[in-house]
Amino acid sequence: MRSLFQLTDYGQKIDAEMSKLSTLETNENSSVLEQLRTLVAMNEKLKKEEQAFRSQCKAEKQKLHENIAKLKQQAGTTDDPDEQERNKLIDRQYEADREKLHKIRLLLARKNREISSLQRKIDEIPSRAELSQYQRRFVELYNQVAAKHTETKQFYILYNTLDDTQLYLNKEVNLLNSIHDNFEEAMSSEGTKQQFLKQFEQIVESLKQNRVKVEKRKQAEKMKRDQLNDEYLNLIEKQRLYFKTVKDFQEECRRNEILQSRLQGHS
């Protein structure tokens, strides 16, 4: 708060400034100076009201502090047994409620952990769309592996066939070379000639027997091929039936979901 001396000095300064304004007053600026005087007076009035309001606030603040101190003193020095028992009961109830709140928070934290664990387990279970996608990918992978297996098997069969062909051709070439090399010597006498013809007939008979064995092997492989082809057609039919059953099952699942959503909407 300003001192009396400061206020007096401030009032003298205002009066001096007002005197200066009066000496400067003319007909042209009289209205402006009058408005300025009004504003100065209003400013002084507001300052006085501000000082009075501050003084009132300080007095109210001091009064409130005194009341608070009095109430604290009364609460601390009360000798009423009922009041003291009531305060103790309130304290015990407060401690019990705080302990109960602590236990509830611990239980809530444990439940949240259990819920998070169950949620992670649920998220790990693939949905029906994911299972369908996995199934398509496995089928594609199976088809790729099956195609690669068939291609590799064909290469093995071609290799074995060519190897057998080469073996028989080598035997044939060796036989022809042996006949060619021994023909002139065998034709030199009648005995060697008969022996040569006899060996030649044995060779021809051996070739016939080999041919019969090859034919039997051919027939056995053909029967095996027909049997495997029948099994393959049976598996193709089972696969077609499997895909049809899966498609029907998915359609029924979709209809079931639609019916469940409708039931939930009516409930």
> What is the Cα gyration radius of the chain?
59
Confidence band of 20 (pLDDT split at 50, 70, 90): low
Residue type, 36: L
pLDDT of 148 > 90? The answer is: yes
| Sequence ranges of the domains in the chain | 4-74, 84-125, 130-266
pLDDT of 152-211, one tens digit each? Answer: 999 998 999 899 889 888 988 988 888 788 777 777 777 777 887 888 788 888 888 988
Is the sign of the CA dihedral 204, 205, 209, 212 positive or negative? positive
Choice between 241 and 175, residue whose per-residue pLDDT is larger: 241
| Owner of token pair 């089972």 | 238
Token pair, residue 152, equals 């590799």
**pLDDT the model gives residue 216:** 92
Say what the pTM is: 0.37
Q: Please give the Cα distance from 154 to 252 (Å, whole number).
A: 42
Q: How far is CA 187 from CA 11, 178, 195, 198, in A?
A: 165, 14, 10, 13
Residue 218 half-sphere exposure toward CB, CA atoms < 13 A: 7
Contact (Cβ atoms closer than 8 angstroms) between residue 55 and residue 1: yes
The residue that leads in pLDDT, 213 or 70, is 213
Cα 91 to Cα 50, 84, 86, 95, 105, distances in angstroms? 46, 11, 9, 6, 21
pLDDT at residue 74 greater than cutoff 70: no
